[in-house]
Chains A and B, each alone.
Chain A
Amino acid sequence: METVAITVVGQDRPGIVAAVTGALADLNGNIEDSSMTLLRGSFAWMLVVAVPVDQTAVVAALSEVRELGLSIDVVALPDTQAVVTSPTHAVAVHGADRPGIVAAVTEVIAKRGGNITDLSTRLSGPLYVMAADVSLPTGVEVQLQSELTQVAELLDVEVAVHKIDIAEGF
């Protein structure tokens, strides 16, 4: 079995997910993780799929989907074990839109050894919002909060960092 990452981007319309998953099912492909959303009205989807064929065959199987006007990319993934780290903190940013917000905030997170496990940004009119789940090393929360506050002041946005509490044991 091969593992491939497939990205599908293009103008949204009904039937895209059905067409892609139908083609993959015909290959006996098994969709593992995937995430799809509409970005500024465009369809955007990333899938990790286990397939009993090679990357070229997957590309060929999706040719009809391409005819729907979608951009499709298929990348073979290496057969190595990956550790998925659990997020420890949530970071939320909002303010007047301007270039560089995500770059500045994520640079701070990266310098403190944080790993972003989930990220979403949205723009509506002049309002920009960003929400991220971050896996932080132990003991950096206070410094991170301070450094993000400084960056937020420079960018004239609001930032909040809070620990992710999980209600569990049942």
Chain B
Amino acid sequence: MSATGVPFWSEVCLPAGQVRQTVQAPDHVLSTQCRSADPRDPAVIQLAADLLATMYGAPGCVGLAANQVGVDLAVFSMDVSDHPKTRTCHGPFVIVNPQIVDSSRNEKAREGCLSVPDFTGDVKRGTRLTVSGQLPQTGVAVSFSTDAFEARAIAHEVDHLNGLLFLDQVAGPHAIHVRQTYL
């Protein structure tokens, strides 16, 4: 158990994870409100393990929502441990049925997303955030606060589970930017 009270996922005995195919916009599952998941359901436990495996298998990936692998269940994985912009860090973890219970100190930053590879966008999000949910397998309720990069990453993932992409949250029509791409 970490000092912050969030058990590391490794303390939850997840099965071996399989890498799943990630989906990209305009796949409709990314605009789907994900359903509540039973954290003790074997399929959800396997999903948790697979999200971690898929996340670690994608270079630079620090968070992954279930609908980013085509599953409309409210589960996401995260590990921002190695990111240079991380301050407070709770990763690695998988959280089921997450809810943001508080968010403050909004700041605008340019975001990208694995599921929207050709664009970035300027999005305002809280730099302080409290999230609650359940751990997979045990179903233990957890609630923790974080900041900076982990806060933005959690908000981004919870948006995914609510069927929202950063494209839905951009600050104005000139806040979407094209990445290097061949037309």
Contact = CB atoms under 8 A, between A and B. Distances in A.
Interface size bucket, A side? 20 to 34
B38 interface: no
9 smallest A-B Cβ distances: which pairs? A168-B112, A170-B63, A169-B62, A86-B180, A169-B60, A86-B179, A82-B183, A167-B111, A166-B110
A81 B182 contact: yes
B90 interface: no
A84 interface: yes
Interface residues of B, number: 29
Grouping DSSP codes into helix (H, G, I), strand (E, B) and loop, the B interface class, with mixed when no group exceeds half, is: mixed
Contacts of A117: 177-178
Interface string A80-116: 0111111100000000000000000000000000000
B156 A170 contact: yes
Interface of B: 60-64, 78, 83, 85, 109-114, 120, 149, 152-153, 156-157, 173-174, 177-183
Given A83-B183, A87-B177, 7 more contacts: A83-B181, A84-B180, A86-B178, A166-B112, A169-B114, A170-B62, A170-B157
B85 A83 contact: no
B110 A83 contact: no
Interface of A: 35-37, 81-87, 117-118, 120, 133, 164-170
B178 A168 contact: no
Contact of B64 (A165, A168, A170): A170
B174 A85 contact: no
Contacts of B157: 170
Contacts of B62: 169-170
A170 B180 contact: no
B180 A167 contact: no
A61 B128 CA distance: 52
